[in-house]
Amino acid sequence: MDIAPPPGVGTLQRWLTGPRIAGLPVPTEMPPPQLSFEFFPPKNEALEQSLWAAIRRLEPLGPRFVSVTYGAGGTTRTRTHETVARLARETSLTPAAHLTCVGATRGEVDEVARGYLEAGVRHIVALRGDPPAGASQYTPHEGGYAQAEDLVRGLRRIGDFEVSVGAYPEGHPAATSQSADLDFLKRKIDAGATRAITQYFFDTDVYLRFLDRCGAAGITVPIVPGILPVSNFAQVKKFSAMCGTSVPAWMGRLFEGLDEDADSRRMVAAVVAAEQARLLQANGVDELHFYTLNRADLTYAIAHLLGARPKAAA
């Protein structure tokens, strides 16, 4: 009977003398972070049912707020308003409506904002907005708000809104430089924004370095990290190229060979996003914003790993 030789001394010595990697804190040692979730308005009846199933699934976690997006060029304005109004009317959640400068005059945007006030919505995510379909670059609407900072001032004039704005750890795709982009963020906050929510990122150091730059620029409001659980790597890689988010090579290797294996992709996605969120927790970040893509299960599982539990019904 052949007996395999013992492991080589070199291997053992490498294990004994190599660096020791400290583990992340045990989740029970840290309080769960404050959560917020982003949804997009449905395009049809089937997607509406899917959206509301996701909302009801995540509602028991008691997020600080849930936001509803606006389509490029304001294309989902009516559906966004209907979804936000229903959230305010039928759930225990605090809704936040996205509002952009694109495709509308100041008067039209102000009318939408007043409609939110009448519906009991007090939180707006104020964004410049993407160019409408077919346009290669953003052009302010004649008679409209030119930039997000102008929209923030307008909202402050209309009512006592809580106003969140966007932030870009790797720089907005249209920015001439990271320094110029940071100056835009500072101006939005000086105009009255109380929070910034970042574009998603995958390299935690990118976000932490961005916090350093924000602090050096005199920004003091929370810069809430946006987390995107990735279940379709090919799709996210394509979208990231358009929005200026870098995709690390290690992430590609993790999803390699899983194009036809949706279950394994979901498992990998949960691990990647949970590790990212727990690393942020370990660095003192206690607020997280999840881009749910109207899919609740991944977000719910990650939130559970972070210590979030359903709130007792009132």
- Which of 190, 220, 227, 223 has its CA nearest to residue 209? 223
Which amino acid type is present at position 230? Answer: V
Q: Which residues make beta-bridge pairs with 84?
A: none
Which amino acid type is present at position 15? Answer: W
What is residue 158's three-state secondary structure?
helix
153 in Cβ contact with 109 (< 8 Å): no
Is residue 202 left, alpha or beta, with left meaning phi > 0 and alpha meaning psi from -120 to 50? alpha
Residue 142 annotated in active site: no
- The contacts found for 171-177 with CB under 8 angstroms, 24 or more apart, are 171/244, 172/244, 173/242, 173/243, 173/244, 174/137, 174/138
Angle between helices 262-282 and 296-305 (to 10 degrees): 40
Distances, alpha carbon 287 to alpha carbons 47, 166, 167, 283, in Å: 28, 15, 15, 12
DSSP states of 197-212 as a string? EEEE-S-HHHHHHHHH
Residue of 38, 59, 149, 170 with catalytic role: 38
Active site residues: 38
